[in-house]
Amino acid sequence: MSGFIIGRIKSIRYAVKGLFLLLATENAIITQSVIALIFVGLGFYLDIDRVEWALQILAIGLVLSIESLNTAVEKVCDFIHPEHHEKIGFIKDIASGAVTFAALTAFAVAVLIYSPYLM
C-alpha cells in the first residue's frame, strides 16, 4: 500500500512540475492563462451563475489542456526530427488545429455566457 501512495505522490509531483514548466516556458500557455484569468475576473464582476461557471471552467480547461498537448506534440516532433520536414509540419499543423477547435468552442461558450450580461 505504501508503494502505491508513494507512486501517486511522485505522479502528482511530476504533474505539478509539468504545469510549472508550461507556465514558465510556453508563450501560448501564458497567453491562454491570462485570457482565462480575465474571463474569471469578468465572471466574478458580472456574477455569473453556477452553470455558467461550470461551462466557463470546462472551456478554460479544454483550451489549456489541448494547448498543453499541442506543446508536447511539437516538442516530440522537434526532438525526433529537428530539421524541417513536410510530415512533421503536417503533424504539428493537425495539433495546432485541435487548439483552434478548442479555442473556437471556448469562444462560443463565452458568447453564450456573456452576451446576455453585456447587451
Is 85 annotated in a binding site? The answer is: yes
Burial of 98 (0-12, 13-18, 19+ CB in 10 A): middle
Is 96 labelled a binding residue?
yes
| Residue 81 labelled as part of a binding site | no
CATH of the domain at 86: 1.10.287.3610
Q: Is residue 56 part of a domain?
A: yes
Looking at the predicted structure, is the pLDDT value of residue 1 above 80?
no
Mean pLDDT of 79-98: 96
Rounded to whole angstroms, the Cα distance separating 39 from 56 reads 8
9 lies in some domain: no
Which domain does 74 fall in, by range?
27-118
Q: What domain count does the chain have? A: 1
Q: Report the distance separating Cα 10 and Cα 84, nearest Å.
A: 36
Establish whether 10 is an annotated binding residue. Answer: no
Domain assignment present for 102? yes
pTM given for the model: 0.89
Q: Taking the CB of residue 33, how many other CB atoms lie within 10 A of it?
A: 17
Q: Would 36 be classed as within a structural domain?
A: yes
Q: Which residues are catalytic?
A: 67
Residue 31 in any domain: the answer is yes
Q: What tens digit of pLDDT does each residue of 35-73 get?
A: 999 999 999 999 999 999 999 999 999 999 999 999 999
Residue 21 lies in a domain: no
8 in any annotated domain: no
